[in-house]
Structure 1
Amino acid sequence: MIAIIKKLQKQMNDVTSRFQRIISVAYVAEVDSELHRVKVRFPSEGIPNSDWLPIVTGRSKGVKTSFNLQEDEQVLCLFIPWGDMNNGFVLGALNNAKDKPYTNNPNKFGIMFTDGTLLEYDQETQTGVLKIKGSTPSIQVGPDKTSIVSDVLIDGAVTVTKTLDVTKAVNFADTLTVAGAVNGMQTANFMGSVGAAGYSGPVSGAPASMSSGMEVSMSATINGIKVSVDTHTHMDAEGRPTSPVTP
């Protein structure tokens, strides 16, 4: 009778132990990134590492997601049936005192990578941010504007439907075509032909209008006639010089 009771007690202890192990906290021991699975080790001594355990993911067919775990990362495991430590799943990673969330702001949702790169959205300010290595280059998208702190290479057509404000020099390697007026507040330097609408040949377009005068250091050709600006002195009837006249 005593032997039967001891046997039943042992079986009950085994069942209880299995129930306790159905959901277990463990740590990643090995990572198989190709099949998205891990082996885990348990904090209790005397329990061997698990076999390969698949990791629960958002999608696996068609639309796919990939978030690989890291060695020593704390995870929550489900072992079925009956707490078999070699048959189970990893439900996900756990935050703890050592591995805290990157932010404590409840309005921010994002991902921070090990090199500091941040992809984040703040629902309070309605602002999305992408920062490479935690600084620049960076892109910030808000409800009113988008800010880019980086050199930008665009391989394609660009359409601007509103004002384009440029605070630095602009270099053009090809033709610049302007359908409207060009208004300038600063000096314009030209190394080639300048066209204004209305004229044939290298110069075409509407007449140029200047309200503050024009300075020409050499000659100008107007309607095929070369005109030069020259300062000279007239002589009176008795051979005396008069005041300089600039035609």
Structure 2
Amino acid sequence: MLKDIERRIRSLEARLNQSVQVGEVTSVDAARGTAQVRLATPGNADGLITHDLPVLVRKTHADKDYAMPDVGEQVLCVFLPMGLETGFVLGSFYSSRDTVPVASADKWHVTFSDGTSLEYDRKEHTLTGSVLGDARLSVSESEEPGKGGNMQLDVVKNFTATVGGDQSVSVTGNQTGTVGGTLNITVTGEATVSAPKISLVSPGGSVTPLDGVVTGNCICAVLGIKHPQKSAVVFASM
């Protein structure tokens, strides 16, 4: 009986020693959300490769979180008492081989392998995003009537947007902009505005302060010739 108890204790110790292990990801099944891991086992120089282990994420039911480890990434695994056949990848960790991208307890940071990064500094109240390629934001109607579909951006301080290439904005409804100070727009090329009617109104003026823009085709009612005071920089069609 004593030998049986000793055998069970040794078996329990062996299972406990194997329950939590560090390994290196050898393959990832992105469709299933699983990964195989090579474990460093005593007496096995090549290591033991596990079965497909589910990768733990924060939520999977109503809200879904998704992030798979990379092949070659160091991860921490936990295994159920029945053995190495059933377990989970708890996550990865920083080490001397994989160092931290930032060194601040006030920052939430994500860096992708292509160079794109997203960071929020709670101490400075600053959100910074650097996208290597295109950035897309889609705002759609909610399935619940009366909710969703609107986007509001409130900036208390300064806002700067720099576009290295072309920019295209399509608004199917109305668009209204209000500037409390001075509006300065500089266009190095040509500026074209196409609309059924264009009104330039000063503060406190009527909706149509003038009948139209004076062009080179306007005939002066007094002289009977093309108007000499035509605009030299503003061009318009009928």
Q: Same fold (TM over 0.5)?
A: yes
> Is residue 181 from structure 1 mapped to residue 178 from structure 2 by the alignment?
no
Shift of 1:48: 2.4
Instruction: Give runs of aligned pairs for residues 24-39 of structure 1, distance below 5 A.
Output: 24-39=21-36
> Is residue 168 from structure 1 mapped to residue 187 from structure 2 by the alignment?
yes
RMSD, matched Cα: 3.4
> Is residue 48 from structure 1 mapped to residue 48 from structure 2 by the alignment?
yes
Instruction: Give runs of aligned pairs for residues 150-169 of structure 1, distance below 5 A.
Output: 150=163, 151-156=166-171, 157-162=174-179, 163-169=182-188
Instruction: Please list every run of 5 or more consecutive structure 2 residues that lacks an aligned counterpart in the other structure.
Output: 136-153, 228-238
Query: What is the match of residue 18 of structure 2?
Result: 21
SS of match in other structure, 2:14: helix
Instruction: Give runs of aligned pairs for residues 120-159 of structure 1, distance below 5 A.
Output: 120-133=119-132, 143-150=156-163, 151-156=166-171, 157-159=174-176
* 1:227–1:29 Cα change, 3 Å: closer
CA contact (8 A) 2:40 2:48 kept: no
* Bigger strand share: 1
Structure number, greater radius of gyration = 1
Counterpart Cα distance in 2 of 1:103 and 1:142: 26
Shift of 1:76: 1.1
Instruction: Please list every run of 5 or more consecutive structure 1 residues that lacks an aligned counterpart in the other structure.
Output: 183-195, 209-217, 230-247
Q: Which amino acid aligns with 1:56?
A: L
Counterpart Cα distance in 2 of 1:22 and 1:78: 5
* 1:107–1:54 Cα change, 3 Å: same
Counterpart Cα distance in 1 of 2:161 and 2:84: 50
Q: Which amino acid aligns with 1:177?
A: I
Counterpart Cα distance in 1 of 2:110 and 2:49: 30
How many residues align? The count is 194
Shift of 1:197: 4.0
CA contact (8 A) 2:35 2:54 kept: yes
CA contact (8 A) 2:34 2:53 kept: yes
Counterpart Cα distance in 2 of 1:167 and 1:158: 21
Query: What is the match of residue 212 of structure 1?
Result: none
CA contact (8 A) 2:24 2:73 kept: yes
Using the size of structure 2 for normalisation, the TM-score is 0.68
CA contact (8 A) 1:53 1:88 kept: yes
Shift of 1:221: 3.0
* 1:88–1:95 Cα change, 3 Å: same
